[in-house]
Amino acid sequence: MIDFRSDTVTKPTEKMRQAMANAEVGDDVYGDDPSVNRLESMAAERFGFDSALFTSSGTQANLLALMSHCERGDEYICGQQAHNYKFEGGGAAVLGSIQPQPLTNQDDGSILLSDIEAAIKPADFHFANTKLISLENTIGGKVLPMQYLAKAQELAFNRRLRIHLDGARVANAAVAQQCDISEITQYFDSVSICLSKGLCAPVGSLLLGDELLIRKARRWRKMLGGAMRQAGILAAAAHIALDEQVERLSCDHDNAKYLADQLNQLDEFEVDLAQVQTNMLFAAVSDKLDIGVVAAALQQQGILISAGKTLRLVTHADISRSDIDVFIKALKALL
């Protein structure tokens, strides 16, 4: 199978499977799992935070962050396209009684700082209490400019808000900018990072923050049923993801550009190359083409895409340059 639907489909590497088989484990609810403890302390140090928490998913890491920064009746400001607004089942509202205040994402993925300023509620009992700004990087495969992050942090500081990063793909952002992940995370009070996407771990995300925030998050994680026992088996693979899979992401980024170029040579597709910054591309599909039919035919040949009016394709460790050639060839034959 050549699977362009998402980087979540990546399988654990051979080295991860070995590490999982041999992982030293204990009961993590007692704080006894050495592999989890090693992962959390390594990540906290590497990304410049007091503490880290290993979670079962990115959705859980974001929810824990929102519930630890905000209380019932508080509000977080985020993008209309934010994963933690649009794609997480409304968890903050359902489980945290926290109101989202979504704002328009600009073409580059940012939210105008003037929009954020205007959305901060005055201290008046008519309003929810604005507590938090939540950004996402990368967002739709796009990298938020470093200068923007610095200004957003300053705004949060001046307005006495906290600032969270949904950094599910922050490693992609760092590789695209040829910087260390910590150069991005330094602007935030908390960060969530997915290890199970482009970094190939089978399961798991991390939440980073100060000691108090992570203590609260640990409590919410327990309440949500997310405290795991011999989780070191998963942490062992996650550790390798951070140690060994980050630099490789540049291949995925090169492959996404290559794929975009190939698609642009076909009349039926149009990709804005300026938007192809990491491992994701969005192609406008001609009205004349029934992409659902194309997707079904490709599937017969072992190629998976998510059919849509805008076609989202994601490159990752389990897609090679020659897989892309196979895909383009199959596509041309179908057209």
Q: Which is nearer to ligand PLP, 61 or 213 (CB)?
A: 61
> Which residue of 83, 131, 142, 221 would you call a contact of ligand PLP, by CB under 6 A?
83
Say whether residue 194 binds ligand PLP (CB under 6 A).
yes
Binding residue for ligand PLP, selected from 51, 134, 205, 245, defined by CB under 6 A: 205
**Rounded Cα distance, 90 and 39, in Å:** 29
The one segment of 52-60, 73-81, 96-104, 305-313 that binds ligand PLP by CB under 6 A: 52-60
Q: Cβ closer to ligand PLP: 130 or 278?
A: 278
CB of 86 to ligand PLP, least distance (A): 10
**DSSP-assigned beta bridge partners for residue 103:** 79
Site pattern 112..151 for ligand PLP (x: CB under 6 A): ------------------------x---------------
For ligand PLP (CB under 6 A), the number of binding residues is: 11
Phi, psi of 303 (to 5 degrees): -120, 125
Q: Which residue is nearest to ligand PLP (CB)?
A: 58
Q: Kindly identify the residues of this chain, within the stretch 165-184, that bind ligand PLP according to CB under 6 A.
A: 166, 168
User: Distance between CA 74 and CA 189 in Å, rounded?
Assistant: 17
Give the residue with the Cβ less far from ligand PLP, 63 or 271.
Answer: 63
Q: Does 57 bind ligand PLP (CB under 6 A)?
A: yes
Q: How far apart are CA 314 and CA 256, in angstroms?
A: 7
Least gap, CB of 131 to ligand PLP (angstroms): 20
C-alpha R_g of the chain: 20
Stretch that binds ligand PLP, among 56-64, 246-254, 283-291, 304-312 (CB under 6 A): 56-64
Closest CB to ligand PLP among residues 8, 97: 8
End-to-end CA distance of the chain: 21
- Nearest distance, CB of residue 248 and ligand PLP, angstroms: 18
Of 19-27, 57-65, 216-224, 325-333, the window that binds ligand PLP (rule: CB under 6 A) is 57-65
Spell out a b/e string for 256-271, using b for 16 or more CB atoms within 10 Å of the CB, else e.
bbbbbebbeeeebbeb
Phi, psi of 234 (to 5 degrees): -80, -40
Nearer to ligand PLP, 58 or 226 (CB): 58
Q: Which stretch binds ligand PLP (CB under 6 A): 20-28, 53-61, 141-149, 276-284?
A: 53-61
58 binds ligand PLP (CB under 6 A): yes
Q: Which amino acid is at 27?
A: D
Candidates 58-66, 171-179, 231-239, 284-292: pick the segment binding ligand PLP (CB under 6 A).
58-66
What is the rounded CA–CA span in Å between residue 7 and residue 252?
10
Q: How far apart are CA 282 and CA 170, in angstroms?
A: 19
Span interacting with ligand PLP, options 55-63, 71-79, 107-115, 216-224, rule CB under 6 A: 55-63
Is 59 a residue that touches ligand PLP (CB under 6 A)? yes
Residues that bind ligand PLP (CB under 6 A): 57-59, 62, 83, 136, 166, 168, 194, 196, 205
